[in-house]
Amino acid sequence: MLKNKWSYPQWIAHRGAGLAAPENTLAAFQLGFDSGFTMFECDAKLSADQVVFLLHDATLDRTTNVQGSAHAYVWDELAALDAGSWHSVQFAGTSIPTLEQLATFCIEKSCQLNIEIKPSPGFDFLTGQCVAREAQRLWAGQSIPPLLTSFKREALRGAQSVAPELPRGLLMHELAVDWHEAVDALQCMAVACHFPLYNASLIEEIKRLGLYSLAYTVNDLETAHNLLKMGVDSIITDTMDKKN
C-alpha cells in the first residue's frame, strides 16, 4: 500500500471543542479555533431528507430539546432545535449545523477536518455515500481534503464507492483480528484507535503497512505526549489546554 503524505496536524479537537462547548456545533468549532486548534473531529449523519448534518448519537435525546431517532426528522425540523441548552445556559439556542456550514467555517479559517461517518442504524452504506459526495463537493479545489473515518466498514465502503480519492481511516475501539484485510480492501490511509490499544509494536506494524495512526480520545497530556513520542501521528482530544 502506497503511503500518501500525512497533511494533518498532531492535535485534533474532539467534536469541535471537547467538553468546553456543546459538541458538534459551530460554537464548539469556534471555541476550538480560539483555543489554537487547526483541525477538528466531527460526527456526520443523514436527516430523513438526506441532508448531511452533525450529530454523534443515534437519537436526539442527549444533546437537543426533543427526543427520538435523528433519522426520523427532516432537516428543517432539525435546524429549529436547541442543541445548546443541554450543555449550559451560555449556549442556549445553539443550533445543529450542516456539514456544509462546517466546511465553510473550516475553509475560511484554513483548518482541517476529520469527519467521522456516524450512520443511523440501517443506513451505513448510504450515509457513507452521502457524506463522501458532500465532502467531495464542498472541498473541491482545496489542497487538503477532509479525512473520512468510521467504525462502520459499510459506511467506508459507501464513501469509497463515490469518492475513492478522499482519504479514509478505520476506527477501532478494539483491535479487529482482520484489520489488515479491512484497511487494504477499503484502501485506508490511516487507522484511528482507542488510545490504550497503542504500543510500540502496533505502531511499528501500522507504519510498516504504510499507514498513519490517530489516537482517541486522549485527555491526559502526559499520555498524549508519550503516544506522540512512540510515533502516533495525531491525537484527538477533549482538552483545550496548551498542547506543547
- Is 103 a member of any domain? yes
Position 240 pLDDT exceeds 80: yes
96 secondary structure, DSSP code: P
Q: How far apart (Å, rounded) are the C-alpha atoms in residues 170 and 129?
A: 16
129 lies in a domain? yes
Of 216, 209, 155, 208, give the one whose Cα is nearest residue 186: 155
Structural domain count, the chain: 1
Domain assignment present for residue 6? The answer is no
DSSP 158-217: HHHHH-TTS-EEEEESS--TTHHHHHHHTT-SEEEEEGGG--HHHHHHHHHTT-EEEEE-
87 is catalytic: no
Looking at the domain assignment, is residue 15 inside a domain?
Answer: yes
pLDDT on residue 1: 44
Output the furthest CA–CA distance in the chain (Å, rounded): 49
Cell of 121: 442504524
Residue 70 domain flag: yes
Q: Is the pLDDT of residue 161 over 50?
A: yes
**Burial tier of 93 (Cβ tally within 10 Å: 0-12, 13-18, 19+):** exposed
pLDDT tier at 2, thresholds 50, 70, 90: very low
**pLDDT tens readout for residues 173-198:** 999 999 999 999 999 999 999 999 99
Asked if residue 4 belongs to a domain, the reply is no
pLDDT in tens, 46-82: 999 999 999 999 999 999 999 999 999 999 999 999 9
Domain that holds residue 95: 11-237
Share of the chain above pLDDT 90, in %: 96
Is 14 among the catalytic positions?
A: yes
Question: Is the confidence at residue 4, as pLDDT, over 90?
Answer: no
Res 241: pLDDT: 84
pTM: 0.97
Q: Which CATH number characterizes residue 218's domain?
A: 3.20.20.190
The mean predicted confidence, pLDDT, of the chain is 96
Residue 105, CA distances (Å) to 23, 27, 32, 108, 157 in order: 15, 11, 12, 5, 27
